[in-house]
Amino acid sequence: MSGPVRQDGRRPRPAPAAEAEPAGAADPPAGPGPLPELPEVLLAGYLDAALATLRAADQGDLPGPLRQYQAWTPKRLRHPRVLGLVRRTLDVDQSFRKAVDERVLDEEEALARLVRAGRHAEALASGETPEAVAKVGLALGREGEAAVQAAVAAAATSRARAEADAVRSALAGAESELDAARDRAEAEAAAARAAREELRAAREELRRVERERRTLADRVEGLERELASAAADLRAAREEAAATRRRLGGRVAELQARLAESQRSYRALRRSAGQVDPVVAEAVGALERDLDALRRAAGLAGDGGAGRGSGGPRAGAGGPPGGAGTAAARRPGRRGPLAVPGGRGADDPETLAAWMGTDGVLVLVDGYNVTKHPQGFPDRGLEDQRTLLLDLCRRLARRFGAEVTVVFDGGTVGPIPTRVGLGPVEVVFTDAGRTADDEIVARTNAAPPERPVVVVTSDNELRARVATLGATVTRSPALLGLATAR
């Protein structure tokens, strides 16, 4: 039977044979041979048995070098220095070696029977580990050399198989990584192509935008030139208008002077109208016609001139038809306020409802004076205040058929149109430097005397100003009270 094989494939050198003794001499006791050179994994089981024997033996039965380690824990006994000492003791101490062998054979009795019978291959095939077979083979000495050699071969085969599996696994992993890398490369290539397409499209879009920018820049330059030209034309027109205004001012002053002179002459003629003189009466009629023409030319057609100041149409007899008495009768009188319904006050919402139902009535609303009233919407923002008031005015205008104009101070809002139409309601934002009060007074004065005008405001100064123009005045709560009235 051949000896065990070392890890590097070479067989260990056999222990030197004892010199031949003369015939008939007694054989000296043979010492234990050194442990063969095996892989550490195959020696581990046998060394574990040796450590177990070390811990379980009596103190006096242990070799001297090992006694100090008996109380050590199994973990500490696995220190490389202790394992080396145990291995050297196994090589030189027969009794310790024998005790270890006996422990191994007792623990692995069934496996030992198979190895003694030469059936170690069968044991390895049945699932016994090479470590266990090598452990039993070492315990059997020369009888187990074949088993040790088979265990070395099985361990090498298992190791080669494991290495091959590892290589195959690594190869499979590499192939998987290669496939993944290939997929990533294809995806990145597709992304790169898409990015190039996007870049190309972006460049085209950039060129188009640049062309549009140049076109718009040219258009802006053209508009700036047109604006400069228009500004120059506007300045020239303003200068021309100012010159025209100065000329017309001089003409109006001249006409007013002539009108004053005519009025003095007219009053003088009226004082002498008691004499029934057909020639004088004819002259008075002609003078009134001249006065009417002068008033129209001077823009003073609504002025309460001499005709009204002297007590209405002339009652003297002998005046020709169509003369001074007839012309004075055709001029309208001064606007008067609307009557307050019986049992109500001027600031009653029902009174305002009755006035808004008057034919041809013009209702002028002092916008912010109404919205900022305690009964209005003072806690809202200006835009919300305007929206709520205009919604109320639209509903009232549709309900009563009145023409409603709401005037706001334009300095409190951004740049918006001066006049905004909202169906039956007109919204006016005054120009800078002009108040809503001035706008309401101007619109009251511009309305024909025969048209009733109702002004809604709680501003006492504005109420006094429009009252002198014959307007009907009511306070802001009257309009706000109509919001809940049926």
For 158-226, give the secondary structure using H, E and C.
Answer: HHHHHHHHHHHHHHHHHHHHHHHHHHHHHHHHHHHHHHHHHHHHHHHHHHHHHHHHHHHHHHHHHHHHH
The pTM of the full predicted model, rounded to 2 decimals, is 0.35
For the chain, what is the radius of gyration of the CA atoms?
A: 65
Give the H or E element holding residue 403: strand 403-408
pLDDT digits (tens, 9 = 90+) for 271-301: 554 443 444 444 544 575 567 667 666 665 5
Query: Rounded mean pLDDT of 15-28?
Result: 40
pLDDT digits (tens, 9 = 90+) for 33-52: 788 878 888 888 888 888 88
- Which of the pair, 298 or 443, is modelled with greater confidence? 443
pLDDT digits (tens, 9 = 90+) for 190-219: 999 999 999 999 999 999 999 999 999 999
How many Å apart are CA 37 and CA 27, to the nearest integer? 28
Query: Rounded mean pLDDT of 91-118?
Result: 84
Where do you find CATH 3.40.50 in the chain?
A: 349-481
Which range in 166-175, 180-189, 329-338, 452-461 is most confidently predicted, on average pLDDT?
452-461
Burial-class residue 116 by CB neighbours within 10 Å (0-12, 13-18, 19+). Answer: middle
Burial-class residue 134 by CB neighbours within 10 Å (0-12, 13-18, 19+). Answer: buried
How many Å apart are CA 387 and CA 96, to the nearest integer? 111
153 pLDDT higher than 70: yes
CATH of domain 349-481: 3.40.50
Which range in 89-98, 179-188, 255-264, 362-371 is most confidently predicted, on average pLDDT?
362-371
pLDDT digits (tens, 9 = 90+) for 387-417: 999 999 999 999 999 999 999 998 555 544 4
Per-residue pLDDT, 452? 96
7 pLDDT higher than 90: no
Query: Using an 8 Å Cβ cutoff, are 42 and 130 in contact?
Result: yes
123 pLDDT higher than 70: yes
DSSP class per residue in 421-478: EETTEEEEEPPTT--HHHHHHHHHHHS-TTS-EEEE---HHHHHHHHTTT-EEE-HHH
Helix %, strand %, coil % of the chain (to 5): 65, 5, 30
Query: Using an 8 Å Cβ cutoff, are 152 and 38 in contact?
Result: yes
